[in-house]
Amino acid sequence: MKVSLIAPCGMNCGICYAYLREKDKCPGCRLFNAKEPVSIVRCKIKNCEIIQKDKVKYCFECDNFPCKNLKHLDKRYRTKYNMSEIENLEYIKKNGIRKFVSNEKTRWACSKCGGTICVHKGYCYSCGKKKY
């Protein structure tokens, strides 16, 4: 996992289905290019004016943190995937991005093979073992 895979919203793109899949693989939210998946192009958080003008690297640096778009995303991820972007951002703010990435490597590593567990699918992309 790389620091560049942590999106402004606190999502770890390295555990995302779109990043882990083989076909039409997403490069991650920070690596913008013309071939970007539709989900990134339409993302209200990534396209936030403050982020676009490079005034903040992470949403917690914004005066409007957490904004309604982030709260909406966070509620969906807490409900469906047992993960919180807001908690991720608060952890990054308190402990730094490097410590967050280090913890994410452990948190999302498969206990069977060491591969990556997908937050959306709930299983390891290397061996298929379920997270829970």
129, two tokens: 């073992």
State residue 52's pLDDT score: 66
Cβ atoms 2, 101 nearer than 8 A = yes
**Beta-carbon neighbour count of residue 68 at 10 Å?**
9
State residue 53's pLDDT score: 73
R_g (Cα) of the chain, nearest Å: 14
State residue 58's pLDDT score: 92
pLDDT along the chain (132 residues), means of 10: 90 92 83 62 70 80 91 95 96 97 95 93 89 68
State residue 34's pLDDT score: 57
Cβ atoms 5, 15 nearer than 8 A = no
Q: What is the DSSP letter of 67?
A: P
State residue 24's pLDDT score: 79
State residue 25's pLDDT score: 82
Residue 24: alpha-carbon gap to chain centroid? 18
65, two tokens: 């943190």
State residue 55's pLDDT score: 75
User: Using CA atoms, how far apart are residues 68 and 52, in angstroms rounded to an integer?
Assistant: 18
State residue 27's pLDDT score: 84
